[in-house]
Every structure is written in C-alpha cells, then in structure tokens.
Structure 1
Amino acid sequence: MEVTNRLWARGFWRAGIRPGDTVMQAFGLSMFLAGVPIVRALESMGVRVIPCGAEAGSERLLKLIWWTRPRALLCTPSYAEYLIDVAPKILGKDVGDLGIEIICCAGEPGAGLPELRRKIEESYGARLYDMLGGAHGILNISCDAPEYQGMHVLGDDFSISYDLVDPETKAPIPLVDGAIGERVKTSLEWEAQPPVRYSVGDIYQIFTEPCMCGQPGPRIKVLGRIDDLLIVKGVKVYPAAVKNVIESFAPRTTGELRIVLNEPGPRVSPPLKLRVEYRSGLEKDAVEMLRQDLIEALHRRLRVRPKVDMVPEGTFERTRHKTKLIEYHPE
C-alpha cells in the first residue's frame, strides 16, 4: 500500500493535484488498480476525494460534480467522452460549465489519441493527462507538452517497467528511441505476487530522447494489445489508431465506429470492414463524400484501404465503460 500510495501521489502531483483539492473519483470503485487504491492514495495526499465511482451511474455522478465542484476528474477516456454527450440531457449544462480543470484518464489508450484528447480538453476546458500503472511499483503519466509525447516513467526505483520483447519470438528488443514491442515488467519492491518479466499483452513504444517538456527520463506510449492487433495484407493495424482517424473527421463523424470481423484475428481477410457513424443533418451526397474521405485518410495514414459502411448518429450504444471497437459477425 505504501508503494502504491507514493506512486499515485507522484503522478497526481505531476498533473497539478494538491492537498486540499476536491477530486471526483469516477473510475469503477471495484477496479483492482484504479478503484479503492486511488481513493486511499488521494486521502494520503491530503486531497478531499469524492468516491462516487462509475457504478453510481452518470446522473448521480454529474449531479455530485455540479454540487461539489471538484477541481479534478478521474475516469476512463471513454467515460469522459460519454459525459460530454449526456451532461446537457441530465444537467441542462455542458461539461465545460462544471469547473473541472484537470482530467486524469487511464484504463484504455484513448487519452493518448490526438483527436480524442482535443475533443475532451476543448469540451471541458481542462487539461487531460494519460496515466498507466498503479500496482507492482509502476506508474506513468503524460506531461504538459503541447502535443502528446507519451507517458513519463515515474517508478524506476520500484520496478523495471519497459523491457520489450518480440510479440512472436519473445526475443529481447533493444531499448532505442522509437522501439516497439511487447512490454514485460519486473517488480523490484512488491511482496504480494511480484511479477518477474511478466506480460499482460500490451504493445509499447519507447522514447529515450529528451522530452520537449524538459522532464528527464524515458517515456512510453501504449499502441494497443496483442489480442487487439489486426494484420491486413501484412500491415499491422490497431483499433485505437483507426478510431483516431475517425475522430479527426469530427464534426462530420460522431467519432463512433465498429470494426467488423467474420472470425477472430489477428489476420483479417481484406478488406477491413468498418461501420462509422455520421453526424445527423448530413445530406446523402455529403455522407458519400465523407465515406470516400475516410477511406483515403485510412489508406494514407494506416496503409489499409477498408470497406466503410456509414450509419446514422445514434446507431451505436454509448457507454460509461470501455468502448469495444470490434464486433464479430461470423459468416
């Protein structure tokens, strides 16, 4: 508990959270890493934490935010995006009226995607931080650089958290700037089930060159998971990267999409099939033009030419949980 409290405190301090601040804890309280352990860590910092949790539901959460006026919000990026849509319906106010200055996200790669970062920061009028870790002596957080630079490693004194191996052969990958591979971790000070060169299936990119923010040390970026990786005609495609391209076409798109697979990956028989929501109000010709623009952008940026079906806004259910981008439709 002491190690966990110290590491979370390092991350939250980097984000600007200080003793006496009010913070809304909107991760699921039942989560092993980001639930009660975060509440405990914030209390140890002297923070006034409101342990509402995602389980309370969006209506109760938003009303508590309005009544208590927290300076910081902690939640998954999917939930932060979801609240943008539902706040006007529940409160009659935009999330930008809630007074939130800091948002710390974890649990999925969304906070590192440029278009989603821009959407969340502009909607709330807050600074968004991407976080990862919480157990086994590991904690990483993004910085205040104008463009996302990955997450700074804050737990080098407690763990070795960014060793890389080849996902298929498990051979070590040299830790040079820009290296990509499957992350394996080793805890140096963790008595309960300490991991030794253990993998949870994440694909990392490592940066060793100095960050433009001035903070020293290595940085990591989560590209996806081994079980999310898709291979289309030899090209590796991560769902999070596809979502980032779709988000870049807002407001013509809602940012919502699904990748449709006929069988489990990673290998996908071309073309890659996508269903993408277009914003209501677009005329038929404009929807077709958007479809063509998406195909060209995905080909240019990800080197795949997908089959894109456009569906109207509201087709996909919004959720406060992690968004599942892949659907399986066996033929």
Structure 2
Amino acid sequence: MASNAIIYPDVLDPIESASREYLDRHQEASLAVMCEYAVANAPLIRKVWADAGVKPGDIKSVADFREKAPFLTKDDIRAYRDAHNDPTGGMSVDSPGQTVSVGTTSGTTGDPTPVPNWRRTPAEETYARDHWHIGVRPGDHVCHMLFTFRGGHRRRSLSELGIAEICFSISPFEIPRIVDASKRFRPTSMSIFPNPLINAFEQYFEKTGEDPVDVFKSYKGAIFGGEPLGDRQKALTRSWGLELFETTSLGDVAGACECREHNGFHAYEDIAFIEAVDPITAEPVADGDIGELVVTSLVDRLSPLVRYRTGDLVSIDRSPCGCGRTHARFKLLGRATDQILVKGRSILPREIMGLVEKHDETRANLFQIIRADREMDELKLRIGYDVTRLKDSEDALKLRLYERISVAIEVPLVLELVDEQELLKLGPPHKIPRVTKT
C-alpha cells in the first residue's frame, strides 16, 4: 500500500556540496554585484569607498577586490550612527518598508552595533541549515532560548519549514519550564544553550534528582553559543546524552556553526565571502595561518556589509569537510582586542578557560583578565568562585588555581578571587567582559 507521507531528504542542499570551482565563480560574480549595489544604496559604504577613491567598476575580480576594496569596522558604523543620528549606522539601504526592526550586537566588547533586519535575513538561512543538519524536520519542535532578547522577533525560517519553536529566556528560573517542555513536546534541538544555562541545569539536576538523560532523550543536538565551549561542558553534556554544536557570528553577516565532525565553524560561501588579514598590517594571510576574519555579505540587500573587519582571530580551512560540505570552515582563536602579551608570550581568554573550569568551585568559568596595557610583565586574573562549593579556605583555592594556571601559562601571575555573583552583574547572562582595564 502506497504511503502519502512526505519524505524529507537527509542530504545537503546542492549549494552546500558545490565544487570549489563553482563556489569561486559564484563568489566572484556576487562580489561585483554586491559592491555596485552597496555603494549605490548604503550611505556608509558609499562614504567609505569615496574616501578611499575606489569605484565599484574597479572591481572586476576577486584579486581586484582584495587589492582595492576598503575595509569597514564597527567603529565606522558607530561613528556614522552618532554623526547622522541614524540608528542603522548608515548600513540600511533607502528602501521603504524593508527594515522591519533594528537589532544590535551584544555589546560585550564595546558599544552595541546596530544591525538592521528585514523579513528574511541571511542569518535566518544559516539558522535553518544548521538545525536541518542536526536533524530537525517539519513537524518537530525546537526549544529556542532568546539570546539576550535579540532575534526572537524575527525567527521566521523554522516556522516557514513547519517547525514549532518553544521560546524561553536564558535564565535559571526558566529551567523547570524547559524541563517540562522537553518531556511534554520532546523537541529535536535547542538553541541557544550557553555556559550559564548548562551550569544552572547541572545544579538543578543535582538538587532535584531529575534524570538528565530522560529530559534530553529526544534531542538530536543543541546549539551552544555565547562563548567558547570548554572541555568540562562537553563532557558534562555528553553524560546527559546531549551533543553540542558550537556556533558563532560570521561578522554580523550571518551565523556559523559546527557540523557533526566538530572541526571548525562552517561559513556558507554562497552567503558570505571570507578572508583573513594580518590584524596590524591588514595584509592577506594564507589559509591555515592566523589572521583577523574579514566578511562580505553576498546576499544581504538591506545591510550590505562589505569587507567588514570582525576583530576575530581565526585560521581558515577550505578543504572539503567529512560532513559532505565543501564550504570553508574556520577555527576561532579569540578576539584580536583581547590578546595580551606577558613577557612576550601571547595569551587569549580561551586558553585561561580550559584551566579555570577544572576546579569545582570555579566550574562556571567566570574570570576576567585585567589588562592595563597590551604588553605587561605579569598576568592579572580576577576569578569568580561559588562560595557554596568551597572545599577548604579561599586561600587554599587560590593556591590550587595559582599552581595550575602558572604551570600551564609559564608567566608571572597575580590572582584575585571574588564571589562569582559579583562577576555575573557585569554582563548579559550568556557572557561577561573577559578583558577589562580595571
């Protein structure tokens, strides 16, 4: 007897497995069109290109683009916003009815940057692809944690696929509701699942005796975001039967997420053109070398970011991935502005995270690097600890942390311990400023 059920394929969209030759041709053509469009329609892009003495007609190839196209920074957008009283920062084209909202970046590394949104953004496309890769299909449920209340008003892609979202705020107070929804609706995935929520779930399971394996048994994966994923969180969530897929921003152009190979963030190259440049000289660096990520939107007609310097330090790999995708992926090493040199040794917050989380009292991984200057004679750390989990004295914990970190980092070290609740007051619930002057 024939079935009328609709079969949804598990294969990738053909563009995700296109040949490198095809992707290169596609990007070259798209760059020329986007440059013409952005200069004609986005006030800030027009100004930046005019100041650089470059015209869209000068861009006839990828080589021309790399050589001639001027860079754009967050500071450019903020300055234009303030000078022209333009909430979109000069990045929303003059197209009445297209801008349905203006969101912002998180503001963790500075003043939040305006991000105009239209009815279906490029980030929506990448969001849908990422969930599809995890295994979400029409008729499924997804738990969506509102990422500091940014984005929940415009998550259209999953609903258009016939997927129901159950929305929560990122708050420990929501955990009983999330557990109830997980057992009642048996969602297929979750997004976003950050460090603080993982730690709060751990405390909830310890206090209530609820079985995490049963709570998460329907999940094919959860998208983790906000900060780098530590080894402790990986092991903890694996013990719950939950696979995490780390995600990050692709320079405010779109999103980028791990696949099941967990070997880097996939940058969808039909949506964005990515480069890596030396953060000081802005000269191109080769794939595999460390450089600052630069992103150009190939599809966004509302906010056409062109040669946008993200401030993220990455290494890019354009070889085919084991998941079947041919698009580039990159490994995120940290923010260029977060780098500190101590006695000539380069240190980034990601390196400290793997050391702080190993102690039970500091398992929440809450710490700050105190950096008065980019180059310093000693590493100064402020570390938050859970006073209720203190095994011995504060001085004993400080000594244990000092011994572990100093041996691994091998630079002069100064530690300050504070109640972790004090650090949580410094930022949104998914992350705190990791580098501060005081």
Q: 1:157 aligns with which of 258, 270, 278?
A: 270
For 1:178-200, what per-residue CA distance to the aligned partner results, in whole angstroms no more than 9, with x for missing partners? Answer: x2111111111111120110123
TM-score scaled by structure 2?
A: 0.61
Matching residue within 20, 23, 47 for 2:142? 23
Q: Give 2:342's match in structure 1, choosing from 232, 240, 265.
A: 232
Change over 3 Å in CA distance of 1:254–1:166 after alignment to 2:
same
Segments of structure 2 that go 5 or more residues without pairing to the other structure are 1-119
Tell me the residue number matched to 1:44.
160
Which residues of 2 match residues 295-310 of structure 1 at below 5 A? 295-299=405-409, 303-309=410-416
> How many residues were matched structurally?
313
Deviation at 1:281, TM superposition (A): 5.6
In structure 2, the residue matched to 1:7 is: 126
Range 56-65 or range 215-224, more displaced? 56-65
2:308 maps to which of 198, 215, 221: 198
For the pair shown, the structure with the greater C-alpha radius of gyration is 2
Query: Could you give the per-residue CA deviations for residues 60-99 of structure 1, whole angstroms, max 9, x where no partner exists?
Result: 4444445433232111422432332443488652544422
What displacement does 1:258 show? 1.8
- What is the rounded CA distance, in whole Å, between the counterparts of 2:158 and 2:207 in structure 1? 28
Tell me how far apart the structure 2 counterparts of residues 201 and 116 of structure 1 sit (CA, whole Å). Answer: 26
- Structure 1 or 2: more helix by fraction: 2
Contact 2:222 2:243 in 1 (8 A): yes
Matched, 1:282 2:391: yes
Alignment partners' CA distance in 2, 1:90 and 1:289: 29
Amino acid at match of 1:207: D
Q: Percent identity?
A: 22
| Gap change, CA 1:4 and 1:256, over 3 Å in 2 | closer
Shift of the 297–215 alpha-carbon distance from structure 1 to 2, 3 Å rule, reads farther
Residue 50 of structure 1 and its aligned partner are, at CA, apart by 0.9
Cα gap change, 1:276 to 1:50, in 2 (>3 Å): closer
Are the counterparts in 2 of residues 280 and 312 from structure 1 also a CA contact under 8 Å?
no
Structure 1: 5+ residue stretches without partners: none
Q: Please state if 1:261 is matched with 2:261.
A: no
8 Å CA contact retained: 1:242, 1:298: no
1:72 alignment counterpart: 189
Question: What's the CA shift for 1:203?
Answer: 1.8
Question: Residue in 2 aligned with 1:110?
Answer: 228
Distance (Å, rounded) in 2 between the aligned partners of 1:55 and 1:252? 21
Query: Is contact 2:319-2:326 (8 Å) kept?
Result: no
In 1: Cα distance, 2:235 partner to 2:302 partner: 39
Matched-pair contact (CA < 8 Å) for 1:109–1:224: no
CA RMSD of aligned residues (A): 3.5
Opposite residue 36 of structure 1, the aligned amino acid is: H
Higher fraction of strand: 1
Compared CA separation, residues 272 and 198, structure 1 to 2 (3 A): same
Q: Which residue of 2 aligns with 1:220?
A: 330
User: Structure 1 residues 304 and 13, CA, compared in 2 at 3 Å: closer, same or farther?
Assistant: farther
1:215-250 per-residue CA deviation (whole Å, 9 max, x = no partner) reads 434211222223322222222221122112222x24
Change (3 A) 1:152 1:4: closer
Hey, what's the Cα distance between the residues in 2 that align with 1:90 and 1:327? 33
- Choose from 278, 290, 296 the match for 1:180: 290
Q: Distance in 2 between matches of 1:13 and 1:326?
A: 33
SS at match of 1:242: helix
Q: For residue 151 of structure 1, what is the amino acid of its counterpart?
A: F
Residue 98 (str. 1) matches residue 215 (str. 2): yes
